Every structure is written in structure tokens, then in C-alpha cells.
Structure 1
Amino acid sequence: MSETDLIQRDVRDGVLSLRMNRPDKKNALNRAMYAGLSDALEAANGDETIRAVLLLGGAGAFSSGNDIADFAGFDAKAGLGEVMRFLRALTALEKPLVAAVDGLAVGIGTTVLFHCDLAYATPRSTFRTPFLDLGLVPEAGSSLLAPATMGYQRAFALLVLGDALSAEQAREAGLVLAVSDAAEDESRRAAARLAAKPPEALRIARRLMRGDGAALNERIEAEARAFAERLTSAEARAAFAAFLGRRG
């Protein structure tokens, strides 16, 4: 699939919808998908006609996380270029970001929600970050954002212990706003409502509520350094080999 096929774009009434479309891999994010998302977010920031961004997955799978095959082939010299570009585009986004989750939200599929202004989920959705089981560490600023959102112990259980959250538990923890069978419809309505508001007032209100992003950007960079180091560790290599062996 091309980058365009993997990340489907649609603009309607000031809302840019980005749908991850790799159903055969349960929307596991590969380098091309990260590049496609980054292209879209960067373009949206400079487009006055785009007033809100909506992030979607597929039926039963929002995203199963990073493509382990990509990580297994990690080149320390090349680094985490596409991933870091996406995370920087995410933190630089000045438009409201809304998401709808149906089914699996694993790894980055969960941590990206901490960057969303509003997120909705269906009852069958589950949220899990198995970083430690793969010999890795939390990413996407989640080591900072998760404790602030849900408290230290619940964040530790999610990010380090690896406990999964049900949709209702995610709502109680503040990771998603509402749980509904019509989560995607609700997310579209919310995005449309945001897009209809005065854009400059919206931008200022969002910036005031989110606060200074310097600490978040510093944490993302620190996490990335640790993550890249862990990718070449014996622990991670053994975990990747075991995972790919089971999948095969």
C-alpha cells in the first residue's frame, strides 16, 4: 500500500479526518504511516481552512501499536526519524485533535490519546502499553502526561506493569471522554462543533489549557533517547524475536 492508502484523508466542513488503514496488520504503524500522519498534521497547521483534526482507526482496531518488524530492524545511525517527526508534529499542532477508538489501542495507539483534546471509545475498546514486556520504555511523552491525567499509580500500572484498561476504565481514568457504540459519530460531531467556533479564540483557549509545551517536548526527547538505546539491547532483541516467532 502507498502512504496515501495507509493514511486516508478526508476534509469536510473544516475537519481533516485521518484514518489509519492497514487492516491486515491491525493498523500497526510503520514508517510510511508515520510519514503520512506527519505530512497531514504539518500541512493542517498551515491551512486556515482546517479547523480541527480527527484521528480514526478501523473496525476492531484503532492501532495495534508500532510495527515490531520495523523496530526489529532498527538502525541506530538512522534513529527514530519518522516516529520523532510525528511526535513533534503532534505537539506542534495548533488545531484541536479528536479521536475515536474502536477495539485495540496498543502502545502508541494508547499514548497518542494523551495528546488529544477529546477522545471517544466503543465499549469493546481496550487500551494497553506493553513497553516493558518488549524491553522498552514509555514514549510519546506518556511518562509525563499519563501521571498528570490519571494519577501516578494508575499510570504506572498502565505504562510499567502493563495492565490493560477497558473502555469504561479508560473513561474513569480520563483517557477518553465517553464510551458509546456510536463513538465515531460522536467524535465527528465534536470535531464539527470545534471547527465551527471562532478559530483564533479556539487556538488561544487550547494553548492556555495545554500550557507551556517545553516540558513535554523535553520529556519526549528524553524518552526517545532511552527508547533508541533500549531498541538495541539484548532484552529488546530477545523480546522482538519471541514476538515475531509467535506471530509467524
Structure 2
Amino acid sequence: MSEDHILLERPQAAPGVQVIRFNRPDKKNAITDAMYRSLIDALTAANADADIRVITFLGTPGCFSAGNDMADFLGFAMSGGKGRLAAADFLHTLVGVEKPIVSGVDGLAIGIGTTLNLHCDLTLASSRSLFKTPFVDLALVPEAASSLLVPRIAGHQRAFALLAAGESFTAEQALAAGLIWKIVPETELEAETLKTAAHLASKPPQALKIARDLVRGDIDAIRKRIDEEIVHFAAQLQSAEARAAFEAFMRR
């Protein structure tokens, strides 16, 4: 059940913090369509709850998320692209969250496991974390407005290396590129992430919201880029080269 794969937690040690945890370790926390729907529900509820001041994403030991579930993508491609990708709805919901978002990354962060963090206000990562977006290797294109945000943050060369060349970034490289805020030991990651989230939750909420809005700037361009990327993404999902790439992946 997707409910088991997305766990919601309210840690006593972090008042005002809603933890959303990827919990599908046997599949390296790959995100299915049903999981996206659960994520949308969780974000919507947290955004509307005045008692929740900060949202925090966590994974399981050694894996944040391996990205989108390939079987779901292959099914979409085989269906001729019928229906709407739940990932698109999730991304728009994520962008629309009005509260600070913190993430703690330990281990693998692949595809949306990397790009989700672009929409977080603070990302902590363990030293063993690895960030990779193999979009082109799967005959796909960047998503989550990463084609807009990564060049802004890291410059063209690093953005091209990550998003087009599919190069892996270590935690140190991600920190140097400005993609994450802090590196902590893996044994301390979760506690430090919750401590960071609780610290934010203790601040005056309206002042923090205004500050966050000013730092983020206009999000219309982000929403527009998400939609532009999704058009190309959906088209590529139905391409012969993507189908071949997915089938090869599924045979591994």
C-alpha cells in the first residue's frame, strides 16, 4: 500500500515539524504513481494545518530515493501516454507549499530524489550521499524545473554535467555547487535534520513566511518551466528510444 511507502511522522523532539518519509527500501524508495498521490495528500494537509510550521523529507538509511518507479513509467509509455503523470501534480503541489521545507538525504538521490531538493529551503546530506539525474541516459529530459533552477544555482557547466551528461555529484560536489546546505555524518543526519527543522519551526511564522517568499521570488516562472518540461518528458516517455531504455533497465 502506498500509505506504508509514505510514512507521516510528528516527532516529539521536533514540535511543529511534519516528517514525510519515503519508506520503500526494498525498491530503493522508488516513487510510484500511488506514492505521488499520497505525497500530494500529505503536502496539502500539512500546508493547511496551522500546527505544522515546517515540512521535512527523509528517506531510509542509505537511500533517500532512487527516483521514479520505472515500471510505472513503462506502463505509461505502453499505454500511449493516456492519463496524466501524477509526478506533475506532485511538483505543482510542492511548489505551492507556503511553509519552509527541509530535507535530509542519506545515500542515493537519483532523478527526482535529487531535483526534489531544489524546492527545499535547506537540504542536509550525509557524506555518503550521491546525487544523479540520468534523464538523458533513459532518453528523457530534466524535470521539476531543474533545467531552470540548477543553472541559476550552479551555473551552466555544472548544470549540464548533472542534467544532460548524467554525471554523479558527491555530497562535497553538491555542496560546492550550492545544491545542498550542509554535510553531516550519516549517523547524525536524521537528528541534525530534525534539529534544523525544529529551529525553523520555533521562529515567528509570518516573518519566516515573508522572508521565504522574498528569497524564493516569483514562482510563476518555476511553474511554467515544470509544465514545459512535462510536455517534453511525456512525449519522450512514448518514444522508441525511451521504451528501449526502460526495457533494458527492467532486464538488469
Query: Could you say which TM-score interval applies, normalised by the shorter chain?
Result: over 0.9
1:11 and 1:4 map into 2 onto residues whose CA distance is 16
- In structure 1, the residue matched to 2:69 is 67
Within the alignment, does 1:207 sit opposite 2:213 as a pair?
yes
Deviation at 1:201, TM superposition (A): 0.8
For the 8 Å contact 1:131–1:162, the answer to whether it is kept is: yes
Paired position in structure 2 for 1:226: 232
Q: Return the alpha-carbon distance in structure 1 between the equivalents of residues 157 and 176 of structure 2.
A: 14
1:184 Cα shift? 1.8
The whole-number CA distance in structure 1 between the counterparts of 2:120 and 2:101 is: 5
Map of 1:10 onto structure 2: 9
TM-score (norm 2): 0.95
Count of paired positions: 244
Q: Does 1:52 align with 2:58?
A: no
What displacement does 1:79 show?
A: 2.4
SS at match of 1:98: strand
Give, as a single letter, the amino acid of the residue that structure 2 aligns with 1:19.
R
**TM-score of the aligned structures, taking structure 1 as reference length:** 0.97
Other structure's SS at 2:56 match: strand
Q: Secondary structure at the match of 1:65?
A: coil
- Give the 4+ runs in structure 1 shifted more than 6 A: none
Q: Shift of residue 31 of structure 1?
A: 0.9
Instruction: Report the CA distance between 1:3 and its aligned residue.
Output: 2.2
SS for the counterpart of 1:17 is strand
Q: 5 Å matches for 1:140-219?
A: 140-181=144-185, 182-219=188-225
Paired AA for residue 222 in structure 1: E
Question: Residues 15-44 of structure 1: CA distance to partner in whole angstroms, max 9, x if unpaired?
Answer: 000110001000000011111111111111
For 1:94 and 1:150, locate their aligned partners in 2 and report how far apart those are by CA, in whole Å. 25
* Residue in 1 that maps onto 2:110: 106
> Once the two structures are superposed, what CA deviation does each residue of 1:55-90 show, in whole Å capped at 9, x if it has no partner?
00001110001001100000312121x111110110
Partner of 2:26: 24
Superposed CA RMSD: 0.8
Task: For 2:232, give the aligned amino acid.
Answer: A
After superposition, the C-alpha distances for 1:116-150 in whole angstroms (9 at most, x for unaligned) are 10001111110000000000000011000111111
